[in-house]
Structure 1
Amino acid sequence: MAVSAVPRALLMLGGGVIADRFGPRRVVIGSDLVRCAAGLSVAALLFLTSPGLWPLALLAVVFGTVDAVFMPAVGALPARVTTRDQLARVQGMRGLAIRFAGVVGGPLGGLAVALGGAAAAFGLAGLLIAVSVPLLISVRMREPAVDDKAEAGAGGADAGDAGESAGGRGAAPGAAVLGAPDSEARGTTAPGKAPARATTPLGDLRAGLRYIRAHRVLAPLMLAIALGDLGFVGPLNVGLTLLADERGWGASGMGWVLSGFGVGAGAAALLLTVRGRLPHAGHVAGWAILAGSVAIGALAFVPGVLAAVGVALLVGLLAGLSGALCGALLQTQADPAYLGRVTAVSSLVSLGFAPLSMPLSAAAIGAWGTGPVFVGSAAVCGLGGVVALCVRDLRRAELPG
């Protein structure tokens, strides 16, 4: 697991540049094919030989590297599939799909191991990925219309940034010159226009980071997401395991608590899927983060399993709601030409930095106990809500209706 996390964290920002340069659809399909081939290759190796641990480490490196490209591309894909007023609903559907996969995937993997061992489990995983490839190929793409393009906001990317990204706000990714119209990508220019300047991947990365930093909604939104994830990941992973062991809940008790969290998060995703839009999205997200942080701190002080399940259900509902709203705001506020890089920064925080809190949480619980660590983590998470509520542009951010 550690071997998989390292390339994902190191290469995620570069993956965002790749997604914006070559187009999210092409990158998603290509990376899915690599994951399918890697999984089936390991399955065949395990079936024919007994190689030990090294093929799993190699597979982890491959998956971590591909994830660094796949995740930013997936984040940039919805803007090419639907209109801005439906992006929040797509975000809710994605949350439902993730919850469904989490519920069904584990038992499927266990059944495969029971029937055919590790080779069968990896073979099944490879086949499931293979099924997703034609589904992705069948997805119809669209170019964002003028009305679909997000406002960069006052203080957004300046003229130099727009020039460095070759085409500026609202350009379609995937051309030979990032964001450039077809004539410019071919080396020609329209009458009366200056030739487009080709950019380097490093220049594109810098332009994306400057775009986020100067954006009046995205910059504080990234900070709110980072604080929320840093305060959430430790207690709900390592912390919950140690808490269940300390209270004598056992594996079944912890399973019920996790189920409560999953049901709550699924309900939040379903709400966004059905409604498509919640008014005062920035305001609601901020208060949901704050209330969720209080519930996280309360988990360490509940008297029994039943109460813990109820609190976990509340945590899942609030965290799922705030997470879905933050994701939808990210999708609707970011310009489509920058979405790969914007998603890469967000994913780097969630999947690169936040997991570092897990060993720290375990060490802190060993030193001070579960109560103080859960409260401290809740305070860090709550700071994300404070940021969302104190920054005016983020607090007033709305989802398109």
Structure 2
Amino acid sequence: MTVTAVEAPERPAHRDPNVLRWLGAYSASMVGDSIYFMALAWAAARTGSASGTGLVLAAGSIPRALLMLGGGVLADRIGPRRVVIGSDAARALLVLGLAATLFLTAPTVGVLVAVALLFGAVDALFLPAVGALPPRISTPGQLGRIQGLRGLAARGASIVGAPLGGFVVATGGPALAFAAAGVLFALSLPLLLSLRIRPLPEPAGGTAEAQGASADSGRTPNAWQDLVDGLRYIRRHPLLGPLMLVIALSELGFVGPLNLGMILLSDQRGWGAAGMGWIVAGFASGAAGSALLLAVRGRVPRAGLVMCLTALVGATGIAALAQVPSVALAAAAAAFVGLVGGLAAALCGALVQTTADPAYLGRVTSVSTFFTYALIPLSYPVTGAAIALWGTGPVYAVSAAVCATGGAAGLAFTALRRAELPR
């Protein structure tokens, strides 16, 4: 009698201790980030210089823009876990050192700018590596669920971190807030050290050019050629190239109106900080809802098609935000944008992680992260100037059109339109 081996069922990500350890470390880091930025803003304001405050808050974006792609190369070369552990340790030491300095002396613009630059440089290493880590701790079939869990952690960190940072600043000043952020960065280290890392699987396939690029990557002698090789791999890949185009256009149309634009819109309508808070809460609740949906379901059929359609539908919500007459309707519109936009972003991240050759995942993640965290924030001055010239309505309409163009561009590519997540 022949005995047929029965394959053990795949453990869901939300029940996998390895994934939960990563999620705990990621959550602690994200809450620490929120507290850090709150403390940095207040410490900069205490210097008494408006121009200096702006310089401090903008300084961190410069090294992120310059070094983000290099962070992806480093993650592929030495492994994402090592980069995440090293960067979190560096962030902890840097922020705790600043806390100790501020306990002894008043903040100065020079010290704060130096810390912001160093923190931004470390962030440029941390962000691509943390995005490349999920495929190394779970199976491909669970990556959609992990993206949902990651989205929940990010939204939870925003909801908890900002009020907690404000409370700590009010209680003990920026020095105590920096100390709290540093402790949270340090708390993530034992969890990261305990992660079990899966070996790199075989390349998933793709075009002959992509496979040839993968083979060439083993022969590149330096980091610059590794970076060029990674960019060439993305450009030649039938799915990753279109995905990067969708990410760039969607973020360009999304980030400015939903961040800087919301502040200016609330001010113009007389809704004040309280109204702004309700709108942000609406967006966060919608985004948390989409993350929860993906975390529970784990897989959305026709993921590429759904991603493009939700980007298109979300664009209508962006345009509507500038036209609604009340805070309640604006919060409802923001919740709608958060729901569909959050689902599109999570599916996009899952498709990136399941499609890319694992040997290239750090570089691929660094390109997608570059648009979100480094390049797009540089559009804030343009958004502000455009709203000052033409008002919120036309600027939101143009932003919605750009976001919709991203979804429409995705639909134009057959490989992306038919893309599926692994079962």
Normalising by structure 2, we get a TM-score of: 0.85
Tell me the distance in 2 between the aligned counterparts of 1:50 and 1:371. Answer: 43
Tell me the distance in 2 between the aligned counterparts of 1:257 and 1:226. Answer: 24
Deviation at 1:145, TM superposition (A): 3.6
Task: Indicate the residue corresponding to 1:150 in structure 2.
Answer: 204
Q: How does 1:110-121 map to 2 (within 5 A)?
A: 110-121=166-177
Report Cα offsets for 1:170-191 as digits up to 9, x if no partner: xxxxxxxxxxxxxxxxxxxxxx
Deviation at 1:158, TM superposition (A): 5.2
Deviation at 1:163, TM superposition (A): 3.9
Report Cα offsets for 1:198-249 as digits up to 9, x if no partner: 5211111111011100000000000000000000011111111111111111
Q: Report if the CA contact (8 A) 2:214-2:359 is conserved.
A: no
Q: Any runs of at least 4 consecutive aligned residues in structure 1 with deviations exceeding 2 A, and if so which?
A: 161-164
State yes or no: 1:125 paired with 2:177: no
Q: Which residue identity lines up with residue 262 of structure 2 in the other structure?
A: L
Task: Indicate the residue corresponding to 2:75 in structure 1.
Answer: 19
Task: Indicate the residue corresponding to 2:216 in structure 1.
Answer: 164
State yes or no: 1:251 paired with 2:273: yes
Tell me the distance in 2 between the aligned counterparts of 1:25 and 1:2. Answer: 28
Q: Percentage identity across aligned positions?
A: 57
Q: Report if the CA contact (8 A) 2:282-2:331 is conserved.
A: yes
Task: Indicate the residue corresponding to 1:321 in structure 2.
Answer: 343
Q: Report if the CA contact (8 A) 1:155-1:216 is conserved.
A: no
Tell me the distance in 1 between the aligned counterparts of 2:295 and 2:314. Answer: 21
Task: Indicate the residue corresponding to 1:354 in structure 2.
Answer: 376
**Structure 1 SS opposite 2:210:** coil
| Inter-CA distance 387–79: structure 2 relative to 1 (3 Å threshold) | same
Tell me the distance in 2 between the aligned counterparts of 1:198 and 1:5. Answer: 30
Q: Report if the CA contact (8 A) 2:220-2:226 is conserved.
A: no
Report Cα offsets for 1:49-82 as digits up to 9, x if no partner: 1242222211111111011111111111111100
Report Cα offsets for 1:35-54 as digits up to 9, x if no partner: 00000000000001124222
Deviation at 1:112, TM superposition (A): 1.1
Tell me the distance in 1 between the aligned counterparts of 2:146 and 2:304. Answer: 18
Report Cα offsets for 1:344-395 as digits up to 9, x if no partner: 1111111122112211111001111110000000000111100111110000
Return the match for 2:164 from 89, 96, 108: 108
Q: Report if the CA contact (8 A) 1:269-1:321 is conserved.
A: yes
Query: CA RMSD for the aligned pairs?
Result: 1.1
Q: Which residue identity lines up with residue 162 of structure 1 in the other structure?
A: S
State yes or no: 1:213 paired with 2:235: yes
Q: Which residue identity lines up with residue 284 of structure 2 in the other structure?
A: G
Q: Gaps (5+ residues) in structure 2? A: 1-56
**Structure 2 SS opposite 1:301:** coil
Tell me the distance in 2 between the aligned counterparts of 1:155 and 1:393. Answer: 15
Task: Indicate the residue corresponding to 1:279 in structure 2.
Answer: 301
Tell me the distance in 1 between the aligned counterparts of 2:69 and 2:130. Answer: 14
Tell me the distance in 2 between the aligned counterparts of 1:154 and 1:222. Answer: 17
Task: Indicate the residue corresponding to 1:56 in structure 2.
Answer: 112
Return the match for 1:90 from 146, 166, 170: 146
Q: Which residue identity lines up with residue 271 of structure 1 in the other structure?
A: L
Task: Indicate the residue corresponding to 1:390 in structure 2.
Answer: 412
Q: Report if the CA contact (8 A) 1:93-1:273 is conserved.
A: yes
**Structure 1 SS opposite 2:196:** coil
Task: Indicate the residue corresponding to 1:39 in structure 2.
Answer: 95
Quick check: 349-358 or 375-384, which moved more?
349-358
Tell me the distance in 1 between the aligned counterparts of 2:299 and 2:312. Answer: 21
Q: Report if the CA contact (8 A) 1:164-1:203 is conserved.
A: no
Q: How many residues align?
A: 367
Q: Which residue identity lines up with residue 344 of structure 1 in the other structure?
A: S
Task: Indicate the residue corresponding to 1:194 in structure 2.
Answer: none
Report Cα offsets for 1:228-272 as digits up to 9, x if no partner: 000001111111111111111111111101100000000000000
Q: Report if the CA contact (8 A) 1:164-1:204 is conserved.
A: no
Q: Report if the CA contact (8 A) 1:76-1:343 is conserved.
A: yes
Tell me the distance in 2 between the aligned counterparts of 1:35 and 1:5. Answer: 16
**Structure 2 SS opposite 1:10:** helix
